A and B are shown apart, each in its own frame.
Chain A
Amino acid sequence: MMPEIGQLSLIFAFALSVLLALVPVYGSYSGNVRALLLAKPLAIGQFLFSAIAMACLMYAFYHSDFTVINVASNSSSMLPWYFQLTASFGSHEGSMLLWVTILTFWTALVAVFSKSLPLLMQGRILAVLGFICVGFIAFSLFMSNPFERSLPFFPVEGRDLNPLLQDFGMIVHPPLLYVGYVGFAVSFAFAIAALWGGKFDSTWARWARPWTLAAWLFLTLGIMLGSWWAYNELGWGGWWFWDPVENASFMPWLVGTALLHSLAVTEKRGTFKSWTVLLAIAAFSLSLMGAFLVRSGVLVSVHSFASDPSRGLYLLAFLLLVVGGSLFLYALRMNAVRSQARYQLFSREVLLWGNNVFLLTATLVVFLGTLYPLFHKELGLGSISIGEPFFNQLFYYLVIPFSLLLGLGPWVRWKQQQLPPLLKPLTLVALLALTIAIGYLAATQSLAANLALLGCLLGAWVGMSAIGEVYQRAQQLGGFSSGISRLQASHWGMTFAHIGFAVLVIGVAMTKTLSVEKDVRMKIGDTVELNGYHFTLTDVYALNGPNYGGQAAELEVYSEGEKVTHLHAEKRFYPLQKTVMTEAAVHARLSRDLYVALGEELSGPSWAMRVYVKPFVRWIWLGGVLMAFGALLALLDKRYRSSTVKVREKTAEIAGVEHA
């Protein structure tokens, strides 16, 4: 019965979303305050019913109700209970319902936390979100129903969850990613509501900022978790593969980063208005396009769900309506808006403009690299594929000027900056960065690794500059010790995010150039040496998991005669899905990872083993976490918490409506 309750709740949620998309629109045109006020309960109700639907689906998975097709094809009774729960969003249908739940959750959050906004604006924002909800709930309900039953003939055992998804990283990765993706819907709704009203003062930017920050925070964490998961689970020691679907999540991130910076300009200086609106539309459009690419089967990827052209067609039509519609509205409304603010060539505005240009170029690179095979084929030029070298090469070139600008940006003032006062501290920063980077490499004596040197230099430059800027700002606020406590949370947020980026750049540069790997055949008792580490295979034995078998290897690692660690690598076989999975053994330290993947059993008995030493690979994820932490700090800034209801503004707005 639970699946039916879920189905029914989803239908209720759909009805509420239709009302949410219509009633406030009526209210905004007719000046009916009651219709505008109805938006909030509608949004909350919509979320409650979606959440009930999601809970019902989880219940069906938890109780292994194989009469539900979705459960039968994605779970089994042998699966541990926590994976049974997460299997509920392992399939296309389930993940769509999760998407809907998160979207309605964001909508409800906006409804609850937008008390300080004029009622008219609230209504418009919620109506835009309601319209997006209608699209996705209808898609879930009519095109990919997660509750469909296979009665009266149902299987006694399920087909099990894809073993790739049976990992802790996978429990958290999709929800985080979706929270990020869908969060951009809020920035999008703010932008559309602003376009709709035709009022472009800096207030909409101030409102949109915390929401964008929150979405960006989750997207950053989601992407980082995905990368960490791939590293542990796929057994090839890689952390980013430029897979079309990875790219689909990376593009909204890049545009979202540009949007965050652009919003700052619009809020503080009232300029870049049309640019910011376009970025807000683009960030969400790219999220939508990502959903389309994953679910339509247009591109081949490890992440693709089973594809179905009718689903693709629906999503494309929705994409046309939402993205095409908003870009059309943008074209109609935005050309009338002009910015008055003036600024000189050497000013923070121009540097942030440069930041946008580089981030968007990066987006374009990813976009073309991802979709070029499709363009090429549809133009009748045959199939091609674009691989890692293309992306890596172009990103090397992009990161260099981007990092140099990033180091400089926070020091420079709005409007106009005189160069001389900056020269002294910046030279100091550059010297410190150089000393640290070159000093470190000289110590490790790897002169050939020019790229690593460059990466370290850029990372050190960005990092030192961020720290130095905080020091300088604190001094301006009246001495280092007292000034530092007076710095705003958002300033700390920026600093942490920039340091995060520096850490990430160093991590990527060092891992890319200094990693070593060896494919070896090992018998029990054999030792292999890599970068001064001695890996000894001590034992291999059969595994007996709840829903898998396979083999496990035990290794001892020594360095200079001293024991470093004990490693445990597994090769699992999942009989229901007939898939083999690698569980790599990783010994992580800040300066390096030791990574061992167990391969095939060879005659002997001996085993194929893949051994890596990857310096600084942790820094990649640490950088991501620091960036997300920065976003969190910025979110906690007290100016976003001032929920003082501006009664006067509100009544004025309502009066305005009634006159219209």
Chain B
Amino acid sequence: MRKFLFFIPFVLFIALAAFLFSGLFSDPRQHGSALVSKTLPAFELPDLMAPTTLYNAEKLKGKVYLLNVWGLWCPTCNAELGFLTELRKQGIDIVGLYYVQPQDSAFGESFDLTKLQQDVVKKLQEQGDPYRLNILDEKRSLIFDLGVTGAPETFLIDAKGQIRAHHVGDINPQNWPALGAQYQALLEEAAEHKPTAEAATTAGAAYAN
């Protein structure tokens, strides 16, 4: 018995080494988001360019798309715009979620929508516009619910409005293949279920009427 007690440190160390070994091959920056395979949290947010149009989770349902959290203030997001625009040209559907940084009124800062719209248009003209539409999250409510830790972050949403992947950091030619494959798989999945999905939406619409 006493003999085995002295093996405890050795056994514990081997177990630790196994964890360290598997840790070597996974990127610590890659997130396993707690939200994956949950539906998009409820929200009601305006369009960045036409603030009278409101979007919610229900309205965005029915298509596979990427929800890209970004902001003009974030250099990595700006660097990412070019590649995302290329993806849009390949038919990838991208929805922007505009991240407004907190303003500090003590420092005389205030939120100016008109100026932001002008700056965004200018930026997207320069760098390319990857977005089908842009949602404005001025109070960062959806961003908070999504557990966003910084920008850029991208969520892969399936046709049923479920979050299927959470990517932290920029999307670039190196990491796109993995995410792209997931996107394609979801497209095929959506195509298979299309009849039922459509039936469900029409039924929903009928019920709403």
Interface residues of A (CB under 8 A from B): 274, 278, 281-282, 285, 292, 296-300, 309, 312-313, 316, 319-320, 323-324, 327-328, 330-331, 334-335, 371, 374-375, 377-378, 380-383, 519-521, 602-604, 608
Q: Name the A residues within 8 Å of B7 (CB-CB).
A: 331
| Contact between chains at A274 and B6 (CB < 8 Å) | yes
Chain A residue nearest in CB terms to B30? A383
Interface residues of B (CB under 8 A from A): 2-3, 5-7, 9-10, 13-14, 16-17, 19-26, 28-29, 31-34, 106-108
23 pairs, CB–CB < 8 Å, chain A vs chain B: A281-B9, A292-B20, A296-B23, A297-B28, A298-B20, A298-B24, A298-B28, A320-B17, A331-B7, A331-B9, A331-B10, A335-B2, A374-B19, A374-B20, A374-B23, A374-B28, A377-B23, A377-B32, A380-B32, A381-B32, A382-B34, A383-B31, A521-B108
CB distance from A475 to the nearest CB of B (A): 44
Determine which residue in B5, B6, B22, B33 has the highest number of CB atoms from chain A within 10 A of its CB, and name it.
B6
| Contact between chains at A330 and B108 (CB < 8 Å) | no
A392 and B16 CA atoms in complex are apart in Å by 25
| Contact between chains at A299 and B28 (CB < 8 Å) | yes
Chain B residue nearest in CB terms to A312? B24
Q: Name the A residues within 8 Å of B32 (CB-CB).
A: 377, 380-383
| Contact between chains at B108 and A324 (CB < 8 Å) | no
Name 5 extra pairs, CB < 8 A, besides A281-B9, A297-B24, A374-B28.
A324-B13, A327-B10, A380-B32, A383-B32, A520-B106
- Please tell me which one of the listed residues B17, B22, B33 contacts residue A382 in the complex, with CB atoms under 8 A apart: B33
CB distance from A321 to the nearest CB of B (A): 11
| Contact between chains at B10 and A298 (CB < 8 Å) | no
| Contact between chains at B24 and A608 (CB < 8 Å) | no
- Please tell me which one of the listed residues A316, A330, A383 contacts residue B24 in the complex, with CB atoms under 8 A apart: A316
CB distance from A577 to the nearest CB of B (A): 14
Chain A residue nearest in CB terms to B18? A378
Q: Name the B residues within 8 Å of A330 (CB-CB).
A: 6, 9-10
A330 and B17 CA atoms in complex are apart in Å by 18
Q: Name the B residues within 8 Å of A382 (CB-CB).
A: 31-34
List 8 tightest A-B contacts by C-beta distance, closest first. A382-B32, A327-B10, A298-B23, A331-B7, A335-B6, A331-B6, A312-B24, A300-B28
Determine which residue in B7, B25, B107 has the highest number of CB atoms from chain A within 10 A of its CB, and name it.
B107
- Please tell me which one of the listed residues B21, B24, B106, B108 contacts residue A603 in the complex, with CB atoms under 8 A apart: B108
A328 and B3 CA atoms in complex are apart in Å by 12
| Contact between chains at B13 and A327 (CB < 8 Å) | yes
- Please tell me which one of the listed residues B5, B17, B23, B106 contacts residue A319 in the complex, with CB atoms under 8 A apart: B17
Known A377-B26, A382-B33; contact A316-B6, beta-carbon cutoff 8 A: no
CB distance from B76 to the nearest CB of A (A): 13
A374 and B9 CA atoms in complex are apart in Å by 20
Chain B residue nearest in CB terms to A327? B10
Q: Name the B residues within 8 Å of A278 (CB-CB).
A: 9
| Contact between chains at B107 and A313 (CB < 8 Å) | no
CB distance from B166 to the nearest CB of A (A): 10
Chain A residue nearest in CB terms to B5? A335
Known A335-B5, A377-B32, A378-B19; contact A309-B10, beta-carbon cutoff 8 A: no
Q: Name the A residues within 8 Å of B6 (CB-CB).
A: 274, 330-331, 334-335
Chain A residue nearest in CB terms to B12? A327
CB distance from B33 to the nearest CB of A (A): 7
| Contact between chains at A335 and B3 (CB < 8 Å) | yes
Q: Name the B residues within 8 Å of A371 (CB-CB).
A: 16, 19
Chain B residue nearest in CB terms to A519? B106
- Please tell me which one of the listed residues A300, A309, A323 contacts residue B13 in the complex, with CB atoms under 8 A apart: A323
Q: Name the B residues within 8 Å of A383 (CB-CB).
A: 31-33
CB distance from B38 to the nearest CB of A (A): 12
| Contact between chains at A309 and B24 (CB < 8 Å) | yes
Chain B residue nearest in CB terms to A334? B6
A519 and B104 CA atoms in complex are apart in Å by 11
Known A274-B6, A278-B9, A330-B6; contact A602-B107, beta-carbon cutoff 8 A: yes
Determine which residue in A299, A328, A380 has the highest number of CB atoms from chain B within 10 A of its CB, and name it.
A328
Q: Name the A residues within 8 Å of B23 (CB-CB).
A: 296, 298, 374, 377-378
CB distance from A600 to the nearest CB of B (A): 8
A518 and B108 CA atoms in complex are apart in Å by 17
A324 and B7 CA atoms in complex are apart in Å by 11
Chain B residue nearest in CB terms to A379? B19
Q: Name the B residues within 8 Å of A380 (CB-CB).
A: 32
CB distance from A282 to the nearest CB of B (A): 8
Chain A residue nearest in CB terms to B7? A331
Chain B residue nearest in CB terms to A381? B32
A651 and B67 CA atoms in complex are apart in Å by 78
Determine which residue in A281, A300, A327, A604 has the highest number of CB atoms from chain B within 10 A of its CB, and name it.
A327
A602 and B7 CA atoms in complex are apart in Å by 63
A300 and B19 CA atoms in complex are apart in Å by 16
A521 and B109 CA atoms in complex are apart in Å by 11
Q: Name the A residues within 8 Å of B16 (CB-CB).
A: 371
A608 and B107 CA atoms in complex are apart in Å by 8
Q: Name the A residues within 8 Å of B9 (CB-CB).
A: 278, 281-282, 327, 330-331
A323 and B9 CA atoms in complex are apart in Å by 10
A334 and B6 CA atoms in complex are apart in Å by 7
A521 and B105 CA atoms in complex are apart in Å by 11
Determine which residue in B5, B26, B28, B108 has the highest number of CB atoms from chain A within 10 A of its CB, and name it.
B28
Chain A residue nearest in CB terms to B168? A383
A374 and B16 CA atoms in complex are apart in Å by 10
Known A296-B24, A312-B24; contact A602-B108, beta-carbon cutoff 8 A: yes
A375 and B16 CA atoms in complex are apart in Å by 9
A299 and B27 CA atoms in complex are apart in Å by 9
| Contact between chains at B10 and A328 (CB < 8 Å) | yes
